[in-house]
Amino acid sequence: MNKASGSKCSPLAPVLRGEGSGVRGIGRGSFVPLTPDPSPPKRGRGEVLTCPAPNVFSHTYCRCPQVILFALLVGLATASPLHAQRELTKIPDPDPDIERRSFQVADGFEVNLFAADPLLAKPIQMNFDSRGRLWIASSEVYPQILPGQKANDKIIVLEDRAGTGKADKMTVFADGLLIPTGVEPGDGGAYVANSTELIHLADTNGAGRADRQRVVLSGFGTEDTHHILHTLRWGPDGMLYFNQSIYIHSHIETPYGVRRLGGGGIWQFRPETMQLEVFARGFCNPWGHHFDRWGQSFATDGAYGEGINYVLPGASYVFTPGAARIVAGLNPGSPKHCGEEILSGRHLPEDWRGNVLTNDFRGHRVCRFVLSEDGAAYASREKPELIKTNHAAFRPIDIKMGPDGAIYIADWYNPIIQHGEVDFRDPRRDHTHGRIWRVTAKGRPLVPRPQLIDATTQDVLDALKAPEDWTRHHAKRVLKERGSKVLPALAAWVRGLDPKDPDIEHHQLEALWTYQSLDVVEPHLLSTLLNAKDHRVRAAATRVIQYWHGRLENPMELLAARAADDHPRVRLEAVRALARIPQSHAVELAMQALDRPVDKYLDYALWLTARELESVWMPALQAGRLEFAGNTGHLLFALQAVGSTAAVKPLVDLIQSGKVARDREESVLALIAAMGDAKELRMVFDRVLAADTTAVGTQVSLLAALEQATRQRGIRPAGDLNRLGKLLASPNDGLRTAVVRLAGLWRLESLRSQFFEYARANSISAALRLASLESLAVLGGPASREAIQKLAGADSPVGVRMAAVRALTALDLSSAARLAVEVLTVSSTEIDPSDVFAAFLERKKGAETLVAALAGRKLPGDVAKIGIRAVRATGRDHPMLVEALIKAGGLTVGPRVLSSPELQQMIAEILKQGDPSRGEIVFRRKDQICLKCHAIAGAGGQVGPDLASIGASAPIDYLIESILLPNKAVKENYHSMIVATKEGRFLTGIKVRETQTELILRSADDQEIAVPLKMIEDRAMGGSLMPEGLADTLTRTELIDLVRFLSELGKVGPYSVSKARLVRRWQTLEPTPAAYSLLLRTSYHSAVSNDPALSWGPCYSNVSGTLPLDALSTFQFRKPDSKESDRFAFVRCQIEASSPGKVKFLLNSSAGLTAWLDGKPADAKADMEFDLASEMHTVTFAVNLSQRQEGLRCELEEVAGSGAHARIIAGK
């Protein structure tokens, strides 16, 4: 064997080539050529390739029968309405001390009871006033008023007059309220969220009780009482912020016009001017929002798991109706959180200051996140909890710092959470208890309680220098309430600041915010801070321009300079501020930020600003009044951002004048294809035809864009479409497939014979054959029908017959059904017949026709099962077809219904005998494919809910029922949607989002499908995408272990997801013939090439964070001159760096590993260090399974002093 022979050597005698000089084997450092065992795949024309490795895990290539269970644990985050929490027969003892003793508290902290029932019941939100009194909104009526019940919910005020850390006075400030979900003291009373209204309650005679009620705003939706107006909070700018959640539709009249918000979001309101705006849109249930020391906003979401969200003004977040683009959270895969407080102050240890605390009320935890700056935005990292417990009624939902520097936690105290899944009137719902806990750092002095109300203005001003956010915040509130009379003192205070004070810029910023609170413009101070040394101060000052620009002399000039600032966050703030200025010049200035590095947040901000200002600048551009100073890149960005029809002509001009850089051509052409008219599409078409052969990828994607244009808008390029045929000369099957699909759509008769040829060809990809058959069907006619029917007949291979049957459904449903039954009768499950069933199910009358054809026929049992699962994946009922399949397959399937005693028995067994470690194995088994649809901590499928904390929140009875009867209760946002299209098809999936033009569904196999709204005839809600009968293949023991495993997830113990940043989602190289061929022909190193012949399938670490080696797809290579073989696996993960620099990659051991970073060899050792640029990176390992037994555990760690920010990519 000659090592220099390289890729020329025969497939039977391959060598492995390393980078550069030579060849090396993997993990042994010697030059050992390997031969696959038992034999390399034969590759010949017409041969159906089979899986070379006897490896049941290689499911993406070789589908084994069980693998095709459309196993979707979709229902798994819900409780059934009637029987939820059935095992909750023991209501915990409400003694607060029992609850307190159950807390596991972070080292160095202790918890004491500040207040408990009967002093308060059911606290929802709390805020301190400037006197240090704690105001609490509480509701005993929640979740729903009963006819005849008096709405008598309360706002109470707790005081700790003696300073002992315990409330010693309670005052009912107001009662008679209906589910008040928020309270924020201020303006002589308190603002209260009272269902449809934001009211202000005032105590005009000092009696401590509200005697005046004023409606401030009205028209908030109440479609869900845990979504209604909430999270009231004053901003540093003197504005009141409040949130609403996903089901709410609000229509608020203001003196400036109606403000509407459908879905979640954060409102921003200035009471004295009545100006109300939407500060951010989206979120599912954002019950946490706070500002950091520098005025930046962070939010948490009680129903969506991405941890801390950095909120940039005007941005859209997950679930924003109609949003074309959203900003993601900083901790994907993290569970859901309620309430939020950013810590500060001398009482807390230094490493806790600036941290974010929030509550996982499902999992009974108070969670901690550490924020750090990361380019324009932030990175957030979860750390071990402040408090965790298994106490079933501990429901922390709000968290605030107090005047003494301690942390206060509102505990809603309820064994039952939620009101969707558990009956409103369930007697176990708690309506009487509630606690406020106080957390202090052991052995550290408390902060002296600030006395601000009676202090002199000078003293209040000096409080703006306090290290505690609490004190500075309330000092600003007090100054604001004292009004404009404080202005002279404020000006003098600013003048008197010591220039040598290292914190002077922050003091000045507090003063600037005080001016803003008072709504008094102070250009001089603003200008000073716009030029501050600290970029955080410059960013905060830049944001102030958003609100003052109409009253400043030179706002454009100021923002122009900030758009070119050295720090990306200042640029981002400038870009967002410019969106508020309705002048065409504003967009030009914003686009200057493109001249510096642009991270994804800045990119988003630019995109948003360009869109928001479109109505201003587009007409100017069209009138020739706007030129972006001749900068094509700026113009191009703005045009692509708006993506509207108005942008098409300027984009065409840019393309035709050759001003578009090559690497952006494809995206520009795709946009033209998506929006343009026939003439403009012709230009795109011409470019596709003229492209050279290196641009196959571009050609394919542009052909897809043209296909979309025809499907969605009915527009085709002008001119001779038959020219498309010339692309069929390409040897690339992908391109030819795209051409054939499009040619069918365009009904190009001229290519009919070509379709015939492909349909009958032997060596051709399945996709091209299917496209050819389908295009033939579209062209129709007796010749097509005859040819397709012939191919569907018994003379063809099974795969070809199935493809032909699928195509035939478009032409002749009953003939297709007859032939389908023929092929299904003889098929095994080696070739997945799901698509055959799906082809019928998506057509009107398809199911009925198939039923007729099945009459009196027999199918293999497994095939019939797959058929039933295909039916269930549609979310619709086809009882006749299910019955026909049961009969044909000789099956006895049906949902396993447990009687109440049986269920109790099973619960008992689960608690007594269930083994979570065995259950995890069941969960991970590929034939259950739980992970195909469900992620744990972000790693896994995205079709169903993430299960990381399911055990902590879901009772066992409903876990069982969700597996056995997935349709009984379906988690919000996980109902399937069934869409009937005008073409007479049915599509089913989970709605991901809906834009102005299309509906995006996530199908049962985790694909996003975009359906043009114009094509939708009707839509209906379906059930869960998780099919029933999923557990049919499980033994009772396996089911019990599986449920036990799920019930442990998120609970304190080994199945709680670690805070370490571990790689949980991997990809393993599939041992396809192509992969074998490539590796054998070239070298192991080819595994890290981006060769499209390589196919990578997902695999996941277990809950503890270790990737078990048996999860990997393996390659077997025969050792030369030996009967022994070596087993290898290739596995890779991705890391995205948002700020460049060094990071550590810690391995549990490097035994048997060879590593690459971005395709370049890296030393595999326990403590690897990578220097990462700001982009996506891939770490690949080859694992010699003969040399390594233990699983692979990789942790991303920071390197001291490095500014790097990186995150591990999760997902499916």
Binding site for other proteins (CB under 8 A): 81-82, 143-148, 151, 179, 195-196, 211-212, 214-215, 218-219, 221-225, 228, 247, 249-258, 260, 262, 272-274, 419-421, 423-425, 519, 969-970, 972, 975, 1021
Taking the least distance from each CB to other proteins, the nearer of 215 and 1176 is 215
Taking the least distance from each CB to other proteins, the nearer of 382 and 421 is 421
Under DSSP, the state recorded for 1111 is G
Taking the least distance from each CB to other proteins, the nearer of 104 and 144 is 144
874: left (phi over 0), alpha (psi -120 to 50) or beta: alpha
Taking the least distance from each CB to other proteins, the nearer of 76 and 1079 is 76
- Report the C-alpha dihedral over residues 96, 98, 104, 106, rounded to 10 degrees: 40
Taking the least distance from each CB to other proteins, the nearer of 258 and 908 is 258
838: left (phi over 0), alpha (psi -120 to 50) or beta: alpha
What pairing do the DSSP bridges indicate for beta strands 338-342 and 1194-1198? unpaired
Taking the least distance from each CB to other proteins, the nearer of 214 and 428 is 214
DSSP for 327-370, written as a single string: BPPSSTT----EEEEE--STTS-GGGTT-EEEEETTTTEEEEEE
Q: Would you say how long the chain is, in residues?
A: 1212
Report, in Å, the least distance between residue 962 CB and other proteins. 13
Report, in Å, the least distance between residue 1079 CB and other proteins. 51
Beta-carbon contacts of residue 472 (< 8 Å; ≥ 6 apart): 463, 464, 465, 466, 510
Report, in Å, the least distance between residue 1019 CB and other proteins. 11
Report, in Å, the least distance between residue 423 CB and other proteins. 7
Taking the least distance from each CB to other proteins, the nearer of 665 and 1028 is 1028
Taking the least distance from each CB to other proteins, the nearer of 258 and 794 is 258
The CA distance from 895 to 945, in Å, is 22
Report, in Å, the least distance between residue 400 CB and other proteins. 27
- Report the C-alpha dihedral over residues 437, 438, 442, 448, rounded to 10 degrees: -170
Taking the least distance from each CB to other proteins, the nearer of 181 and 309 is 181
Under DSSP, the state recorded for 237 is T
Under DSSP, the state recorded for 731 is S
Evaluated on CA atoms 1057, 1060, 1065, 1066, the torsion sign reads negative
Taking the least distance from each CB to other proteins, the nearer of 272 and 557 is 272
Place of tokens 């609850």: 99
Asked whether the beta carbons of 141 and 152 are under 8 A apart, the reply is: yes
Report, in Å, the least distance between residue 222 CB and other proteins. 4
Place of tokens 């370490």: 1060
Report, in Å, the least distance between residue 559 CB and other proteins. 24
Residue 367 CA, distance from chain mean position: 20
Asked whether the beta carbons of 864 and 885 are under 8 A apart, the reply is: yes
Report, in Å, the least distance between residue 660 CB and other proteins. 38
Report, in Å, the least distance between residue 968 CB and other proteins. 9
Distance spanning both ends of the chain, measured CA to CA: 41
Q: Can the peptide bond before residue 118 be classed as cis, meaning omega within 30 degrees of 0?
A: yes
Taking the least distance from each CB to other proteins, the nearer of 228 and 593 is 228
Report, in Å, the least distance between residue 958 CB and other proteins. 12
Report, in Å, the least distance between residue 246 CB and other proteins. 10
Report, in Å, the least distance between residue 270 CB and other proteins. 8
171: left (phi over 0), alpha (psi -120 to 50) or beta: beta
With b for 16 or more beta-carbon neighbours within 10 A and e for fewer, the 457-473 pattern comes to beebbebbbbbbbbbbb
Q: Is 133 helix (H, G, I), strand (E, B) or coil?
A: coil
Taking the least distance from each CB to other proteins, the nearer of 260 and 1014 is 260
Residue type (1 letter), 662: R
The CA distance from 1150 to 1108, in Å, is 15
Report, in Å, the least distance between residue 873 CB and other proteins. 20
Report, in Å, the least distance between residue 192 CB and other proteins. 15
Report, in Å, the least distance between residue 705 CB and other proteins. 29
* Of the candidates 4, 43, 6, the residue with the CA atom closest to the CA atom of residue 1077: 43
Taking the least distance from each CB to other proteins, the nearer of 530 and 950 is 950
Taking the least distance from each CB to other proteins, the nearer of 228 and 882 is 228
Residue 1162 CA, distance from chain mean position: 32
Q: Where would I find the beta strands (DSSP E) of 139-207? A: 153-159, 169-177, 180-186, 189-194, 197-202
What pairing do the DSSP bridges indicate for beta strands 986-994 and 998-1002? antiparallel
Taking the least distance from each CB to other proteins, the nearer of 421 and 614 is 421
Q: Can the peptide bond before residue 143 be classed as cis, meaning omega within 30 degrees of 0?
A: yes
